[in-house]
Amino acid sequence: MENISETNKDINNKDINTNSRKNGVKIVAFLCNWCSYAGADSAGTSRLRQPEDIRIIRVPCSGRINPLFVLKALTQGADGVLVSGCHPNDCHYSDGNFYARRRLEILKEFLPVIGIDERRFSYQWVSASEGQKWQKVVINFVKRIREIQG
Amino acid sequence: MQQENSVEKKLKEKIREVFDGFELVIGYSQSKIPLKVNPLFIKGKEEIDGLIFNKLCINNLATYSYALSNELKGKIGIVLKPCDARSVSQLISEELLNKDRVKSIVVGCAGILDYKKIYKEIGGLKIISADIKDEQIIIDTIDESFTLEAKNFYAGKCYSCKIYDNPPYYDEFIENESKLNIEQENEYEDVEKFEKLNLEEINAFWDLQFGKCIRCYACRNICPLEICRDKCIAQLDVPHWQSQKINSAEGKFFQLIRVFHLAGRCTECGECERVCPANIQIMKLMKKVNKDVLKLFNYRPGYNLDEKPPLLTFKNVEKNIKEEELI
């Protein structure tokens, strides 16, 4: 438990505002049902504080995510998009995230050419037991998007 | 009417020789409009005389391959340039075409002139006649006549062409005595230059470009690899991906749909940009993705029948992908 409370202290020290109403940004997160969604859930049940700027959309698998989902969100007003799935080799459907990795990497490389900052998009691997990792990912990603927003 | 050149003669001979097995052969024919050619659908032997092949044959006839191979039952022959053969090869490698029913008759290429570039140069004057002699284009308009150096008016893809007499895929190959003879540029030079601009400049550029888009869908319909047509998500009601509004955001999003449908598949024939009535520089987007696909997966669409398109397959360990850590 010590570890967790330390991270919580960390948030306060670094002055990450968890209240999105104040200087919040809008971030859409696509989480796979089997790992990352459960990971985010476990972060919640273990009461790890996170910024509230993230809106989570649950998808069956990271392989379900069409790059156009991300582009649609970004062109329609989302400040950032986060995609998270099972670690490679751990996919519930055995290879969905391998396909996703290739697509999303192409997407990430492509974003600057149509005038979108590539830092607004990230894909991560978070497993069901990694509540703490999820917290860190969210904190860092929100921080980065807030920096871009200025 | 231009004089018959030696390639045309060889092409006609070849087609006469093999015609009996085919239900349809698609080639080029003379158009009444100067600097343009028409596609020719040959169903009987007597129509073979109408065939031509010269520096104006810019159309990619592979566009017809998928639709016609579904419609017709017999064998289809298509006259292709080496670069167009890539499109057929890509479709075959994706198992969208049957190798035994669609035969490519590839003709060696001496470079293709882009009529859009010529129109721009002469300022849109009405052309009465055009003649191409070696490396010179002689154009008569109502008011004045022009003599243009051909080397400045080739299609964009010709400047980085390495396969003009060495097609990656063919059933019949007809060699051309005249060869492509222009200074070669780096394949992705223009994309690299474009990438160096900052985001504001890029946004301003695309706003201007896609502000012109009327979404006629010509780019999609001409594309040899976009075989979705009726199933295109841009025209679906549920889910409603795109509204019918005409503005730069919608135009841009339609192109993004195309880009990701063609990621790792686009053979860079440049037809989408050629048919665009608003002259939008679409190929920049297509080339950017192809550049990344080459960098990440070392894959060029349309060169190898046995290789699977990179986004339809995967490796457990991706050497070239560096995943970003957010912790």
- Is A87 part of the contact surface with chain B (CB cutoff 8 Å)? no
- φ and ψ at residue B39, rounded to 5 degrees: -75, 145
Q: CB–CB of B296 and A102 under 8 A?
A: yes
Contact call for residues A38 and A128 (beta carbons, < 8 A)? yes
Strands B136-141, B145-149: pairing kind: antiparallel
* Interface membership of A68 toward B (CB under 8 Å): yes
Q: How far is A114 from chain B (nearest CA, A)?
A: 7
**Higher pLDDT, residue B255 or A16:** B255
| Complete DSSP assignment for B203-251 | HHHHHHHHTT-----HHHHH-SS---GGG-GGG-SSS----S--SHHHH
Please tell me if residue A67 touches chain B, with a CB cutoff of 8 Å. Answer: yes
Q: Cis ω on the peptide bond leading into residue B239 (within 30° of 0)?
A: yes
Report the pLDDT value the prediction gives residue A2, as an integer from 0 to 100.
Answer: 45
Of all residues in chain A, the percent with pLDDT exceeding 70 is 85
Mutation for testing the B interface, residue in A110, A137, A147 having most B CBs under 10 Å: A110
Q: Which residues of B touch A72 (CB under 8 A)?
A: 241, 253
Q: Is A71 on the interface with B (CB under 8 A)?
A: yes
**Chain A residues within an 8 Å CB radius of B318:** 101-102, 105
Neighbouring-strand partners of residue B79:
B105
Query: Is A121 an interface residue toward B (CB < 8 Å)?
Result: no
The answer to whether A3 contacts chain B (CB < 8 Å) is: no
* Residue in B202, B233, B257 nearest the CB of A113: B202
More confident residue, B161 or A24: B161
Averaged pLDDT score across all residues of chain B: 92
Query: Is B279 strand, coil or helix?
Result: coil
Q: What is the pLDDT of residues B38-82, one digit of tens each?
A: 999 999 999 999 999 999 999 999 999 999 999 999 999 999 999
Lowest mean pLDDT among A106-110, B139-143, B312-316: B139-143
Task: Tally Cβ neighbours within 10 Å of residue B128.
Answer: 11
For testing the chain A interface, which of B314, B319, B325 should be mutated: the one with the most A CBs within 10 Å? B314
Q: Where are the alpha helices (DSSP H) in B122-217?
A: 189-195, 199-210
Query: Which residues from A are below 8 Å from B239, CB to CB?
Result: none
Contacts of A137 in chain B (CB under 8 A): 326-327
Distance CA(B287)–CA(B284), nearest Å, equals 5
CA nearest B202: which of B272, B288, B267, B265? B288
Could you tell me which residue, A6 or B127, shows the higher pLDDT?
B127
Q: Is residue B28 within 8 Å of residue B57, measured between CB atoms?
A: yes
ipTM reported for the complex surpasses 0.95:
no
Q: Does A69 touch chain B (CB under 8 A)?
A: no
User: Taking CB atoms and an 8 Å limit, are A101 and B256 in contact across chains?
Assistant: no
Please report the number of interchain residue pairs, chain A to chain B, with beta-carbon separation below 8 angstroms.
92
**CA nearest to A149, candidates A20, A11, A60:** A20
Backbone angle region of B44, left / alpha / beta, with phi > 0 → left and psi within -120 to 50 → alpha: beta
Q: Select from B233, B289, B314 the Cβ nearest to the Cβ of A106.
A: B289
Contacts of B289 in chain A (CB under 8 A): 106, 110
DSSP state of B3: P
Nearest to A122 among B311, B316, B326 (CB): B326
CB atoms within 10 A of CB A67: 23
Closest-CA residue to A67 (of B94, B261, B230): B261
- What is the structure's pLDDT at B31? 92
Other Cβ atoms closer than 10 A to B74: 10
What pTM was computed for the model? 0.90
CB B25 within 8 A of CB B15: yes
Alpha helices in chain B (DSSP H): 6-18, 65-71, 82-93, 115-121, 189-195, 199-210, 218-222, 248-262, 271-275, 283-297
Tell me the chain B residues in contact with residue A10 when contact means C-beta distances shorter than 8 Å: none
- Residue from the list B284, B321, B327 with its beta carbon closest to the beta carbon of A140: B327
Q: Is residue B153 very low, low, confident or very high in pLDDT (cuts 50, 70, 90)?
A: very high
Supply the Cα-derived Rg of chain B in whole angstroms.
21
Burial tier of B54 (Cβ tally within 10 Å: 0-12, 13-18, 19+): middle
For A54-99, what is each residue's pLDDT tens digit?
999 999 999 999 999 999 999 999 999 999 999 999 999 999 999 9
CB atoms within 10 A of CB B170: 18
B324 — pLDDT class (breaks 50, 70, 90): confident
pLDDT for B3: 61
For every residue of chain A, which 3-state class applies, written as one string? CHHHHHHHHHHHHCCCCCCHHHHCCCEEEEEECCCHHHHHHHHHHCCCCCCCCEEEEEECCHHHCCHHHHHHHHHCCCCEEEEEECCCCCCCCCCHHHHHHHHHHHHHHHHHHHCCCHHHEEEEECCCCCHHHHHHHHHHHHHHHHHHHC
